[in-house]
Amino acid sequence: MKEYLVTASQMKQYDRNTIDFHHMPSLLLMERAALATVESLQAVLGKEHKHVLVAAGGGNNGGDGLAVGRLLLLQGYSVEFVLLAEPQNCTQETKRQLEILESYGARIFGRMSEVTYDMDIVIDAIFGVGLSRPVSGKYAETVELINKRDAFVCSIDIPTGICADTGEILGCAVRADLTVTYGFYKLGQMLYPGTTYCGRLVCGQMGIDEKSFLGEKPVWYTYCGTQKGLLPERAPDGNKGTFGKALVIAGSKQICGAAMLAAKSTFSTGAGMVKVVTATENQNAVLQYVPEAMLVTYNADEWETRDESRIALAVRNMLEEAVSWADCILIGPGIGQENTARHLLSYCIKESDLPLVIDADGLNLLAGDKDLQAYLGQQNRQERDIILTPHLGEFGRLYGCETAACKKHFTQYPRLLAERLGCTIICKDARTIVARADSQSCYLNTTGNAGMATAGSGDVLAGMVTGLLAQGMDGREAAEIGVYLHGLAGDYGAEAVTQDAMTATDILAQIPAAVRACRQEEQCGR
C-alpha cells in the first residue's frame, strides 16, 4: 500500500500536533512506542528470556529505550542500562523513565565499557531522528562497541548515526538487525546507505497517524509490497486500438538491442500496438524479436550526408504519418547523437503534442541544446505529459552539475529540474525518484535490487512507462507505476537467476509475473 515517508522535522511536528492538538500525553506515546518495540522484537526472536543491554541517550529516543528495557525487565529478562547523558540534561520524559527504573531497582551504568559480560540483545536508543551532526566522543565509542558485540541489535526509531532525511552516515552508525520506527517510515530509512543499516524495518503504531498531519501532508511516499489498483483496467470488449498505440523511436545501426528491449517492454505493460522507427540495419532483428511490432526504417548513412534542412524535411516526411497514428511517443534508446537523431528529437518535441518519453541518447541530445530545453519548459505550461528518464550521469548533464553533486542533493534536484523543464522526471539510481513540475509530492521507489544495474535495464523501463502512457495514464501515474513494476520485475528476476547473473532480458521476462501479481491482488480485493 501507499506509505508516507517523513523527514525529521515533519515527524517532530506531527508528534507536537498529537500532543498539543489531540491532547495525547507524551509519556503515553512513549509507553506505546516501547510496547510496539517489545512486540516487534519478540515477533523476531521469540519470548525466551535473554540478557539485554539498553544504550540510551538523554533525548526522548533514550526515554523510549529505557521504557523498552523496563518492559523486558518486568517480563523476566535480565536487563542492564547505560545512560550516556547526565541525568540533569535529559528531557523531562526521559527523567521520568529514569525515576521509574530506579523504583524498580534497575542498574544504570554511565558507559558501555563498564558492562563487561556478554549480552544477547542490545537496544540502541542513543540518538533518534533528530540527529543532525556527526556522532563523536563517548557516543561514537558506544556505537563502535555495539557493532563489535556478538548480539542482536534493535534500534529505536532509526539506527544511531543515520540521518533521517538523507540516509547518510553522520560520523559512524549502528548496524541494526531490527529497527522499529514509529508512526511513519523515515525518508532516510529508505535511502542508501541508511537502508542497509536498518536491518529488518518495522513501523509500529503508537498514536501518531494521518490525523496528526493537520493539513500538512508529507512530501514523500512509496509503495510497499504487491499493489492492487495501480494498473489500468482492461476493457473486456476492447480491441488492440483500445489499449493504445505507441511509437517507439529507438536504435541506430550500431545499437539494435535498445529498440528491441524498448518495443518488447512497451507491449509487456499492456500497449495494444507498437510501431518502431529505427535504422534500416535493425529491421530483421527487431521483427524477429518483436514480431508483433510494425516497423518504419531510415537510412542514417544517407541522411547524414545531407544538409540540415534536407535532414529536417526527411524526418518530417517519415514521422508525420507515424505521429498522427500514435497515442504516445518514446524517443531516445540507442538512437545515437548524430544530426538525424537530433532532428528526430526536435520533431517530437516541437511538432507533436502527444505524451512523450525521452530516454538515453534523447536526454544527452537535450542536455546539449539549451534552446530545446527552453522550448520544452514553455510547452509544458500547456500541460503536455513529458517524461524524462535520466540516470545520475544524464541527470547531471541536464541539470548542469557534477554527478557527485546530484547524488548529494538527490532528494532536492529532481524536483527543481522538473520545475525548470516543466515535466515529470524519473531520476534513476540505487533508489529512483519521480518528481513532477506541478506537484509538491514526490515518489521514492523501493522495489528493485543491485542486479538491475545492467545494460539495457533503462530501455526496459522506458518501454514500460510508454506502455502505460499508451493506455491513457497521465505522466506521473505512468512514471510511478512503471518504475514500481520495473523494480518488482527485477526482484522476481533476481529470485530466478540471482542478482549477479541478471540481464535486462531477465527483467523483461519477469514483467508478466509482476503484472500478474498486481492483478491477483486486485481480484482478491474485490
Q: Which residues contact 151 (CB under 8 A, 6 or more apart)?
A: 53, 118, 119, 120, 121, 122
Average pLDDT score over residue span 282-304: 95
For the record, the C-alpha cell of 273 comes out as 500496438
Look up residue 185 and give its DSSP letter.
E
Rounded to a whole number of angstroms, the distance between the first and last alpha carbons of the chain is 16
3-state secondary structure of 296: strand
Rounded to 10 degrees, the C-alpha dihedral 314/464/391/382 comes to 60
The pLDDT value given to residue 340:
96
Give the integer Cα–Cα distance in Å for 131 and 61. Answer: 11
- In this structure, of 164-168, 469-473, 492-496, 516-520, the range with the lowest mean pLDDT score is 516-520
The H-assigned helical ranges of 75-183 are 92-103, 137-148
For residues 342 and 348, the answer to whether their CB atoms sit within 8 Å is no
| In the predicted structure, residue 526 carries a pLDDT above the cut 60 | no
Q: Which grid cell is 124?
A: 540502541
Higher-scoring residue by pLDDT: 416, 525: 416
Show the cell assigned to 454: 545492467
Hey, what amino acid is at 177? D
Among 114-128, 326-340, 503-517, which is the least confidently predicted range? Answer: 114-128
249 neighbors 328 (Cβ within 8 angstroms): no
- How do residues 344-368 score in pLDDT, each as one tens digit? 999 999 999 999 999 999 999 999 9
381: pLDDT strictly greater than 60: no
Residues 6+ apart with CB under 8 A from 9: none
| pLDDT(479) > 60 | yes
| Sign of the torsion angle spanned by Cα atoms 341, 344, 345, 350 | positive
H-run or E-run covering 78: strand 78-83
CB 422 within 8 A of CB 379: yes
Q: For residue 233, give the DSSP letter.
A: P
Rounded to the nearest integer, the mean pLDDT of the chain is 94
- Residue 320 region, left (φ>0) first, then alpha (ψ -120 to 50), else beta? alpha
| Overall average pLDDT of the 471-495 stretch | 97
CA distance 13 to 212: 9
How far apart CA 472 and CA 490 sit, in angstroms, is 25
pLDDT of the residue at 383: 75
Rg, Å, the chain Cα set: 27
Grid coordinates of 165: 532525511
* pLDDT, position 395: 97
Residue 18, pLDDT score? 96
pLDDT in tens, 43-61: 999 999 899 999 999 999 9
The pLDDT of residue 470:
97
pLDDT interval class at 224 (50, 70, 90) = confident
AA letter at 51: H
Identify the band that residue 525 occupies on the pLDDT scale cut at 50, 70 and 90: very low
Going by the DSSP 8-state scheme, the letter that residue 450 receives in this structure is: G
pTM of the entire structure?
0.94
Bridge partners, 3 (sequence order): 222
Q: Return the half-sphere exposure (C-beta side, CA atoms, 13 A cut-off) of residue 230.
A: 29
Question: What is the three-state SS of 201-231?
Answer: EEEECCCCCHHHCCCCCCCEEEECCCCCCCC
Q: Is 461 helix (H, G, I), strand (E, B) or coil?
A: helix
- Split at pLDDT 50, 70, 90, the class of 95 is very high
DSSP string, 320-364: HHHHHH-SEEEE-TT--SSHHHHHHHHHHHHS--S-EEE-THHHH
* H or E element at residue 387: strand 386-388
Q: Is the pLDDT of residue 521 over 60?
A: no
Please calculate the CA angle 39-131-31 and round it to the nearest 5 degrees.
30
Is the pLDDT assigned to residue 23 strictly greater than 70? yes
Torsion of CA 140, 142, 144, 150, to 10 degrees: -160
Instruction: Please write the tens of the pLDDT for every residue from 147-175.
Output: 999 999 999 999 999 999 999 999 999 99
* 398 pLDDT above the threshold of 60: yes
Query: What number is the average pLDDT over the span 89-100?
Result: 96
CB-CB neighbours of 465 under 10 Å? 34
pLDDT value of residue 38: 98
Backbone φ and ψ for 467, nearest 5 degrees, come out as: -60, -35
pLDDT digits (tens, 9 = 90+) for 167-199: 999 999 999 999 999 999 999 999 999 999 999
Q: Are 53 and 153 in contact (CB under 8 A)?
A: no
Closest by Cα among 270, 220, 229, 128 to 431: 220
| Torsion angles phi and psi, residue 515, rounded to 5 | -65, -45
pLDDT at 523 over 50: no
Cell of 436: 513532477
